[in-house]
Structure 1
Amino acid sequence: MSTSIATTSYEPFTEETAIAYIEKLNQKLGLFPAPSLLICKEIGDGNLNYVFHLSDSLSGQSLIIKQALPYAKVVGESWPLTLRRAKIEAEALQKAAETVPSLVPNVIHTDDDLAITVMEDLSDYTILRKGLIDGETYPNLGRHIGTYLAKTIFHSSPFGENQQEIKEISVRFTNPELCKITEDLVFTDPFFDHDTNDFEDHLKDTVNELWKNEELKLEAAKLKYIFLTKSEALIHGDLHTGSVFVTAEETKVIDPEFAFYGPAGFDLGLFIANILLNTISKTAIDEQQHSDLYQTIIETVEVFKEEYKKLWQNHHVEAFIQTEGYVDYMLGTIFEDAVGFAGCELIRRIIGLAHVADIDNISDCQKRLYAQQNALQLGSTFIIKRRNIRTIDQLIQETKDVLK
């Protein structure tokens, strides 16, 4: 549900005002039993938002408030951002819950005026990136992410939803400001000498060679054009391993504030790249191939294809759906785009503004350099050779060839 508890203009919450807000909301929605004694802590470690954890010390119940800031938290007020992204995120979670309710957190309440979403507390879960860095394994992860991608993409595409309804829905998810962040930080800046880039001095020669590679830049330009023009499905838009909560049995996809109608292979590509960044990190540290991480990628792609084909057969609204070769064409196109997008993500996480702890936290300078160079080489390979990498087995082999 979406309401406004206060009629005042927007202001960022503090821990105290967050408690006051929830106490008022509790009177309407009965979020906590009476009497209650609320405790609040700001726990956000992301780049864009505040995240508050509220718990009742009497009942033990808890919830999360996420509030968008009118600027990028990682930079400050010099980088203004729309507050509307909070509404987009909440509606994207609610849309995903229509098809994969067990794979997203429950949205309890939204307030557009204050740019907040009140949602299920996932404190018992672990951020996937941290779990992977710590060496944990998640046997259900590939199946869950493959299912999430297949169902959210298919049901928001012209194959699973009436095209007129899609056109109406897509207006709600017009997201130009956050798309511009992706256009710049993923598809543009890392391929040029731009002031947003951030990389270590020992990479200068490697990066300069990358910037001189005209074949690579041409293919990156084509991928940027695909990102700008393909409106195939409602995508998460930022599906990295920091946007997934996990336990040994369960998976929850979070933070779809970058959601918009875009290329169907984008989320898959980002997820593959971020699993590979962890693989590259581990390989640099212990010089071993990590079959469990490769298996996660393989299972993600295989489950995605299997579930997509089932939906194609059983829940279609498109007249050409039974035409021989059509589903294989679509899946092939999605995978080709995903391979290219994975390449862009690998490169930008080394050269660009936003890095990943998997690589940056390697303490040994030489091993860190090795990992960074491997990520750049693999990213370049994926971008240039994406049309020839037709299967997930070929993608894994290309990765092994770079990391051997």
Structure 2
Amino acid sequence: MTSDEYRILRETDLRDYLAQLPAIACQLGGAPASWSISEVGDGNLNLVFIVRGGAGSIAVKQALPYVRLVGESWPLPLSRSHYEHLALTHQARLAPGLVPAVLHHDEALALIAMEFLEPHIIMRKGLVGGTTYPRFVDDITTFLARTLFLSSDLAVPAAEKKQGIAAFAGNHALCKITEDLIFTDPYRIVEQNRWTSPWLDTTAARFRGDLDLHVAVSRLKLKFMAAPEALIHGDLHTGSIMVTERETQVIDPEFAFYGPMGFDIGAVIGNLLMGYLASSGHETSPGDRRTFEAWLLETVESVWTEFARKFVELWRTEAKGDGYPPTLFAGANGAARLDAERQAYMAQLFCDTVGFAAAKIIRRILGLAHNIDFELIDDPKRRAICEARSLRLARAMLVDAASFASIGAVTNAAREVRDWDPDFGA
């Protein structure tokens, strides 16, 4: 891709561009001049347009050559659009119906036109409003189990897996963002870091000097860089999930690469925990969100238990990879031993999940990009209280992940910290 092939599309440019694509123009319907086009991107990286015509609507996403949140001082490769398209294609095959359909991809313009999801909303916005989603657990655990297991050495031959790793290996610029923003920057002085000051000043300084924390997060960072277990979404927070009460769709996989499975699962669980611990900051009267909060913790527990059940079931029925060859586990004794090994594998994956969930929480409070779960709490001290509780939980999960023997231990710890009163003077 050369620079003169790429241009940032504005409304008029996009209208003219789409009008030249017969399938897209037909889907939208009506004269191009009548199409409604609005830029709605509220993320950190890209332009996102909603285009509405007389017959239908589509979403159009274009990568910018820099980080939108920061500006042109932070350049970013346009190739991330290529990897997002590749990931969406893979995910549609592995977990059909759980990602938006791709309608058009333009490599030179770093542009993807896709199904417009309506009346879906970003899940994070719904959680801030106290909305529950009955389909979410079943949908997200199906997505996680299928995309992770079916791209792993347990499901595919080694050669195919290595080809997959190679196909995504060029997405290192997005990986570098994760390596810095999640695993490094919150624990050191970086100009772009921010937190709710002055209330969290002491906590932020304490985290920067906490060597136990630094060791724990560095171990996770090394695993993120060196464990290509499966094709992971790479940014699976509640802002990358669109929902209704009846449907869940996973979007924005531009950070996709072959990495540790626990990173994706931990991202989902960590964001649900943040939603839980931010919830009191959105109360209009004391305790009015307790039912919603109970649902959130039940959801945290179910995300892990249902994922684990579906993953192990896939291991029993779809184990066509070179990992754990069936010929080595023939007979009743072999089957029992393999079953025990599956349980040990899942225990390690759970430990990874706990640690990655904690790292995701910490970066959203002490790093660059924050969550509306906390940011929309108007009273800064009230916000800081919710964030301090989250940091207290996250530190325990990160430094001593192995002590959380079950997902119930995680939710119990969240309940305990929910009403903890931080002493900001200490």
- When structure 1 is superposed on structure 2, of 147-156 and 331-340 the one drifting more is 331-340
Q: Deviations over 1:27-76 (max 9, x none)?
A: 688434465632211111111101111111x32x1111100011101111
CA–CA separation in structure 1 for the residues paired with 2:318 and 2:23:
42
Are residues 1:92 and 2:87 paired? yes
CA–CA separation in structure 2 for the residues paired with 1:28 and 1:146:
32
Are residues 1:178 and 2:167 paired? no
Contact 1:149 1:268 in 2 (8 A): yes
Please give the secondary structure, in 2, of the residue aligned with 1:45.
coil
Match of 2:346 in 1: 331
- Length-normalised TM-score, structure 1: 0.94
Pairing partner for 1:365 from 374, 377, 380: 380
Contact 1:142 1:298 in 2 (8 A): no
Match of 1:64 in 2: 59
Pairing partner for 1:314 from 299, 313, 317: 317
Match of 1:194 in 2: 190
Match of 2:206 in 1: 209
Q: Displacement of 1:99 after TM fit?
A: 2.0
Please give the secondary structure, in 1, of the residue aligned with 2:221.
helix
1:250-399 → structure 2 map (5 Å cutoff): 250-286=247-283, 288=287, 289=290, 290-317=293-320, 318-320=323-325, 322=335, 323-399=338-414
Q: Structure 1 residues 227, 319: closer, same or farther in 2, change over 3 A?
A: closer
Please give the secondary structure, in 2, of the residue aligned with 1:241.
coil
Q: Deviations over 1:125-179 (max 9, x none)?
A: 1100000101111011112111110000000001111110111121111211000
Are residues 1:163 and 2:158 paired? yes
Q: Deviations over 1:244-283 (max 9, x none)?
A: 0000110000000000000010011111111111111113
CA–CA separation in structure 1 for the residues paired with 2:397 and 2:324:
34
Q: Deviations over 1:203-244 (max 9, x none)?
A: 111111222221111111111111111110000000111000
Return the letter of the residue paired with 1:283. Answer: S
CA–CA separation in structure 2 for the residues paired with 1:39 and 1:328:
53
CA–CA separation in structure 2 for the residues paired with 1:281 and 1:297:
15
Are residues 1:109 and 2:112 paired? no
Return the letter of the residue paired with 1:45. Answer: D
Contact 1:26 1:32 in 2 (8 A): no
Contact 2:18 2:24 in 1 (8 A): no
- Length-normalised TM-score, structure 2: 0.90
Give the share of equivalent positions with the same residue, in percent: 37
Pairing partner for 2:137 from 139, 142, 158: 142
CA–CA separation in structure 1 for the residues paired with 2:402 and 2:87:
31
Structure 1: runs of 5+ lacking an equivalent: none
Match of 2:220 in 1: 223
CA–CA separation in structure 1 for the residues paired with 2:409 and 2:102:
39
Return the letter of the residue paired with 1:268. Answer: I
Contact 1:65 1:118 in 2 (8 A): yes
Q: Deviations over 1:282-330 (max 9, x none)?
A: 1345465511000111111111011101110111124445523221122
Return the letter of the residue paired with 2:46. Answer: N
Please give the secondary structure, in 2, of the residue aligned with 1:95.
helix
Q: Structure 1 residues 371, 16: closer, same or farther in 2, change over 3 A?
A: same
Return the letter of the residue paired with 1:15. Answer: E
CA–CA separation in structure 1 for the residues paired with 2:296 and 2:110:
37
Contact 2:24 2:103 in 1 (8 A): no
Please give the secondary structure, in 1, of the residue aligned with 2:252.
coil
Are residues 1:43 and 2:43 paired? no
CA RMSD after TM alignment: 1.8
How many correspondences in the alignment? 397
CA–CA separation in structure 1 for the residues paired with 2:31 and 2:8:
27
Q: Structure 1 residues 219, 276: closer, same or farther in 2, change over 3 A?
A: same
CA–CA separation in structure 1 for the residues paired with 2:361 and 2:30:
50
Q: Structure 1 residues 35, 203: closer, same or farther in 2, change over 3 A?
A: closer
Contact 1:346 1:378 in 2 (8 A): no
Q: Displacement of 1:385 after TM fit?
A: 1.6
Structure 2: runs of 5+ lacking an equivalent: 327-334, 420-426
Contact 2:51 2:59 in 1 (8 A): yes
Q: Structure 1 residues 113, 285: closer, same or farther in 2, change over 3 A?
A: closer
- When structure 1 is superposed on structure 2, of 324-333 and 43-52 the one drifting more is 324-333
Contact 1:309 1:327 in 2 (8 A): yes
CA–CA separation in structure 1 for the residues paired with 2:152 and 2:25:
35
Contact 1:284 1:367 in 2 (8 A): yes
Please give the secondary structure, in 1, of the residue aligned with 2:60.
strand
